[in-house]
Amino acid sequence: MDDLFAKNDALGVAELVRMRKLGARELLDGTLANLRKLNGTLNAITDFYDDAPPPPEGPFQGVPYVIKQLMADCAGHPTTLGSKFFAKQPVAVADSAAVARMRKAGLVIVGRTNTSEFGLAPTTEPAFGGATINPWRKDLSPGGSSGGSAAIVAARGLPMGHATDGGGSIRIPASLCGLFGLKPSRGRISLAPIGETLAGAGAQHCVSISVRDSAALLDATAGAEPGDPYGIALPSDSFLDATRRAPGKLRVAFMRKPVGGRALDPVLVKAIERTAKLLEELGHHVEEAAPDYDAAALNAAFWMGMSANTYTNIQLRSAGRTPGPGDLEPVTVETARRGGLVSANDYIRGVQTFHRTGRALGAFFEKFDVLLSTTHARTSLPLGTVRMDGTLEAFDEQVAPMTAFTAVCNATGVPAMSVPLEWTDDGLPIGMHFAAKLGAEETLYSLAAQLEKARPWRDRRP
């Protein structure tokens, strides 16, 4: 059982269950035992669920799965948001829509994974519950805010795990943990019963070892719920089918530095150049180009929206309770305080900045199919680099290099993925970031499968 997920992805394990070569109960018990063992070192899972019902038939029949403690509810349990203040209440009365679809696809939910408080930080070091360790090196963070799921999948405790993404929180931990992580287009997966998150910037999906698992899970979870604020048409073929066909000759733009940002570490520049060369060798047209938008204005609008949403969500979820000393981390407190001061005029201007940037990116993707960069502007993230116990100004500076390439995709709603194609000289993973136009997940999955075949990563593990 220890090597099951090192040798098989989720679809492969489900096939073993269907063929009765592996019992569902044996799989569940063995996985839970191994997860508890791994968690003693990683601190990735906050809660274990031992009372899982028998799984229905589906593409992932019997495969154990974990849900992040953010943006998704499991019936009968609290969703803590990585916060002491919400550790015990409110308790969810029902599964959120995406979780219900995951269960219908045959996934067996065995626990919840660690996250930074309210998902504010691109690391996973909440005061409530403590830091999650990157299995690649114990002094490093797995990134965040989906670091709990990423750490446990990187350690091969599971083949994939739930992740959410408001500014890079699927792709950043995927990069730092050597995994595949795709953020879907705005509206691709319903967030019901909650509504719009972060002015449309929020999304959810998974981190995984294989590309096809991610695609098959998106097939199972994609689609709007009645009354959703956003929706996007489903493709004529499945996302899994997209992984089985060649992407054709794509027009690829690559950028050596963030828009409006500082020069990258030479290690990252070389990684971009090597990936660009690989894409050329695979037959794609590659040239250096970058979209044109006001990065400073977008960043200001992004954090204003984040602040306002933090303030409002605390008010809504607290049901009249008032946070006491130590219930919330200092950066969360200050973020919420600032959010309470945001005027309607300023908030609308911020949303308009999102839309203006979206149009600039839309025009860029009329000329190019894919935009390539690294996933973030650091080679690694030592624990303690991003702090939630200091000032908001210091926090902003610490976060900036982690979201330099990712947040624009959230603000504009376009899909993007981190693919583990490069490595530092000392063996740490470097995720390569690919963005595409709204609704173009098929293009990304087809390209990712081609890259996975050309430069496989499954056997590169901590």
CA atoms within 13 Å, Cβ hemisphere of 273: 8
Contacts of residue 419, Cβ cutoff 8 Å, sequence gap at least 6:
180, 431, 432, 433, 434, 448, 451, 452
**CA pair distance 204, 70, nearest whole angstrom:** 10
Largest CA distance in the chain: 61
Contacts of residue 324, Cβ cutoff 8 Å, sequence gap at least 6:
none
CA atoms within 13 Å, Cβ hemisphere of 230: 25
Contact criterion met (CB below 8 Å) for 62 and 103: no
Contact criterion met (CB below 8 Å) for 72 and 96: yes
* First-residue to last-residue Cα distance in the chain: 17
Report residue 206: phi and psi, to 5°.
Answer: -155, 165
**CA pair distance 225, 190, nearest whole angstrom:** 6
Q: Is 367 a catalytic residue?
A: no
The single residue of 116, 169, 208, 418 carrying the catalytic annotation is 169
The single residue of 83, 116, 141, 145 carrying the catalytic annotation is 145
Q: Is 238 a catalytic residue?
A: no
Report residue 325: phi and psi, to 5°.
Answer: -55, 130
Report residue 420: phi and psi, to 5°.
Answer: -80, 80
Q: Is 270 a catalytic residue?
A: no
| Alpha-carbon separation of residue 417 from 38, 208, 248 (angstroms) | 27, 11, 18
Question: In 3-state terms, what secondary structure has residue 290?
Answer: coil
Catalytic sites, residue numbers:
68, 145, 169
